[in-house]
Amino acid sequence: MSHDTPSLRPAPHHAAPAAPAATLSGDASGLRQAPLRRLLSRVRAGRLLLTLPDGARLQAQGAAPGPSAELRLHRWRPLLRLLQQGDLGLAWSYRDGDWSTPDLVALLSFGLANEAALDGAISAPAPARWLARLLHRLNANTRRGSRHNIAAHYDLGNRFYERWLDGSMLYSSALYDGPADSLEAAQARRLERILGLLDVRPGQRVLEIGCGWGTLAATLARRGAEVVGVTLSTEQLAFARERAAAWGVADRVDLRLQDYRDVEGRYDRVVSIEMIEAVGEAYWPVYFATLRERLKPAGVAVLQAITIDERRFEGYRDNPDFIQRCIFPGGMLPSPERMAQQARQAGLRLSTELRFGHSYARTLADWRRRFQAEWPAIEAQGFDARFKRLWEYYLGYCEAGFLAGRVDVGLYRLVHEN
Asked whether residue 182 carries a pLDDT value surpassing 90, the answer given is yes
Instruction: Give the containing element (helix H, strand E) for 230.
Output: strand 226-231
Give the residue from 268, 415, 273 showing the smallest Cα distance to 350. 415
Q: Is the pTM of this model over 0.85?
A: yes
Asked whether residue 401 carries a pLDDT value surpassing 60, the answer given is yes
Residue with more model confidence, 178 or 326: 178
Residue-wise pLDDT tens digits, 209-227? 999 999 999 999 999 999 9
Residue with more model confidence, 143 or 39: 39
Q: How much is the pLDDT for 127?
A: 53
Q: How much is the pLDDT for 38?
A: 81
Residue with more model confidence, 368 or 156: 368
- How far is 355 from 293, CA to CA, in rounded Å? 26
Answer whether 290's CB lies under 8 Å from 260's CB.
yes
Helix ranges (H only) for 277-335 are 284-294, 310-318, 322
SS3 68: strand
Q: How much is the pLDDT for 133?
A: 52
Residue-wise pLDDT tens digits, 387-396? 999 999 999 9
- How far is 322 from 313, CA to CA, in rounded Å? 16
Mean pLDDT to the nearest integer, 326-341: 89
- pLDDT-derived band at 155 (thresholds 50, 70, 90) equals confident
Q: How much is the pLDDT for 79?
A: 85
- pLDDT-derived band at 147 (thresholds 50, 70, 90) equals low
Of 43, 279, 398, 400, catalytic: 398
CATH 3.40.50.300 is held by the domain 143-416: no
- Terminal alpha carbon distance of the chain: 33
Residue percentage of the chain with pLDDT more than 70: 85
Q: How much is the pLDDT for 327?
A: 80
Neighbours of 137 (CB within 10 A): 12
Domain boundaries, the chain: 23-124, 143-416
Mean pLDDT to the nearest integer, 380-388: 95
Residue-wise pLDDT tens digits, 76-92? 998 888 877 778 889 99
Q: How much is the pLDDT for 36?
A: 79
Give the residue from 73, 3, 6 showing the smallest Cα distance to 321. 6
- How far is 58 from 48, CA to CA, in rounded Å? 8
Answer positive or negative: Cα dihedral of 123, 128, 132, 137.
positive
Residue-wise pLDDT tens digits, 241-276? 999 999 999 999 999 999 999 999 999 999 999 999
Q: Chain-wide mean pLDDT for the chain? A: 88
Q: How much is the pLDDT for 143?
A: 67
The question of whether 398 is a catalytic residue gets the answer yes
Instruction: Give the containing element (helix H, strand E) for 350.
Output: strand 348-355
Q: How much is the pLDDT for 39?
A: 81
Q: How much is the pLDDT for 316?
A: 85
